[in-house]
Amino acid sequence: MQPFTLRRQKLLSALPDNSIALIASGHEQIRNRDTHYPFRPHSDFQYLTGFNEPDAVLALIKTNTMTCHLCLRPKDKEREIWDGLRLGIEAAPDALEMDSAHDINDLQSLLSEWLANKAYVFISFDESTTWIPRLLPIIQQLKRRVRQGISAPHQFSDLDKLLHEQRLIKDEAAQAGLRKAAKVTVSGHLAAMRTARSGIYEYELQASLEQTYKQLGSTHQAFSTIVAGGKNACILHYTENNQLLCNADLVLIDAGAEIDGYAGDCTNTFPISGRFSNEQGIIYDLVLAAQQAALATIKPGVNYDVPHKAAVKVIAQGLWSLGLINATSLDEIINNELYKPFYMHQTGHWLGCDVHDVGEYKINGSWRPLVEGMALTVEPGIYIAPDMQQVDVKWRGIGIRIEDSVLVTETGYECLTIGLPRTRDEIESWMQNR
C-alpha cells in the first residue's frame, strides 16, 4: 500500500461521520504572455496523492464507509503532444489507489452528488475564496430538496487543523524524503564551495549549486537560493545574487533542494579566500557555539522555544563580551532584547513538504513540546550591518548564519544535513584542500 493511501486513511479516520474533505492540486500560473511557471501541486494535495498534475481535486468522503475519489484531466492526444503525457481517468484508480476517478470537467455535478446528505464540509480556509462561491450554490440547491428527504451540509470546517497536524509528525516515507533532500542539499553546498574564488559573481556559485541539485534528481529548489557575499549577508532574504565576490569576503549560502516533494534547507558561511579574518572568525565561532547550544537541547518533551533561548543566551553573552552591546548584565540584554539589532529572527522553523512547513508552534498559547517525528531547522545568526554606527568599523558588514535540518528522534535528534565542514578549522582546511 502506498504511503499516500495510508495518509488518506489516517485523515479520514480523524474526520467526523457524514463529512467530505476537498483538496485541490492547483492550476498552472502564467509567467509571461503564454508561458507558464513550472507547475508544483499544492503540498497538501501532493502529500495525500503523490500526483503532480494541475487541475485535479481529491475528495475524501466518510459516511458508513471511507472512500477516496479523484477528479483529473482526461487524456487528450493533441494537448499531450504539446504539453506532455497525462495519467488519465482510466489509469488513475489503480495507479493512485483511489476508489474512483472522474473528469475534472464534471466536478460541479459530482459535488452536487457528494455533498448530498453530508453534514460537514472540510476545506482549507486559505482557499475559501475559491471553494465557498463554488459550494454555496450547491448547498442552496440541496436545501430546496428537503421534502425529497435530502439534507445539505450545515458546517464548513478548516481542514488545515487536522491535516497540518498530521503533516507535522513525519511518517517513515516523509522522513526518507527529508533525508534524501538533505543529502542533495549538502552536495550542492559543497559544489558551491569548490567553485568559490575571488573575482566571480554570486550567481556563479548559485549555478554550481543548482546544477548539482538537477544532476542529483531535484526537480525544484525548495526556495529561492540565497548567495550573499560580504555585506549582502546582512540582508536575510537576499536573492539578487549578482555581486562580484572579493577575496576578503565571507559568502553566506542559504539553499535547499526539493526531492519528491520534500524540502532541504541548509545555510553555510565560509571565506572566499579560504581563511577567516580575525573578526570574521570570532563571530563565526560565536554563531557556531550558539547553534551547538540550541542543538543540545533538542529532544522529545522540550518546548519548541527552548533551542531559541539557548542560542540567544550564547549570542547575547558573546556580543556583550566583545563590547558590541552596552549593558550592565546578561539578563538586561535578554529581557530587553538588546541583541535583536544583531539577531532578529527565530532559531528555526518546521520543515517538510514546505520549507516553512505547516503545524502550530503554540498550543493554547504555550509553546508546544517537541515529539518524535517532528522536523525543524536550527539556524542562529549574527548580522552586523555596514551602517551600524555604534560598533567599531572592523565588525561592520559581517553576516553569518549556520543552519542545519534535524529530525526529532526517540532520545534526541538526527542531523539530516551532515557532511559540511562546520568548525572554523574544518572550513579552512577543506577550502585549502578542495
404 and 292 in a single domain? The answer is yes
Residues identified as active-site: 34, 237, 254, 265, 345, 349, 356, 379, 383, 401, 403
Report the CATH number that the domain containing residue 233 is assigned in CATH.
Answer: 3.90.230.10
Residue position matching grid coordinates 568559490: 196
- Give me 356's grid cell: 516553512
Are 320 and 330 within 8 A, CB to CB? yes
Integer CA distances (angstroms), 27 to 21, 42, 53, 219, in order: 19, 9, 9, 18
Residue position matching grid coordinates 565542514: 421
182 and 329 in a single domain? The answer is yes
Integer CA distances (angstroms), 395 to 198, 252, 316, 358, in order: 21, 16, 16, 37
315 and 328 in a single domain? The answer is yes
Hey, CA dihedral for 43, 47, 52, 53, is it positive or negative?
negative
For the question of whether the overall pTM of this predicted structure is more than 0.85, the answer is yes
333 and 362 in a single domain? The answer is yes
337 and 218 in a single domain? The answer is yes
Decide the pairing of beta strands 35-36 and 226-229: unpaired
Domain end: 147, 167, 187, which one? 167
Number of domains comprising the chain: 2
Instruction: Tell me the pLDDT of the chain (434 aa) as tens digits.
Output: 999 999 999 999 999 999 999 999 999 999 999 899 999 999 999 999 999 999 999 999 999 999 999 999 999 999 999 999 999 999 999 999 999 999 999 999 999 999 999 999 999 999 999 999 999 999 999 999 988 989 999 999 999 999 999 999 999 999 999 999 999 999 999 999 999 999 999 999 999 999 999 999 998 999 999 999 999 999 999 999 999 999 999 999 999 999 999 999 999 999 999 999 999 999 999 999 999 999 999 999 999 999 999 999 999 999 999 999 999 999 999 999 999 999 999 999 999 999 999 999 999 999 999 999 999 999 999 999 999 999 999 999 999 999 999 999 999 999 999 999 999 999 999 999 98
3-state secondary structure of 184: helix
DSSP 218-245: --EESS--EEEEGGGGGSTT-----SBP
Using a 10 angstrom Cβ sphere, with 0-12 exposed, 13-18 middle and 19 or more buried, the burial of residue 367 is middle
73 and 194 in a single domain? The answer is no
Residue position matching grid coordinates 476545506: 123
23 and 100 in a single domain? The answer is yes
219 and 297 in a single domain? The answer is yes
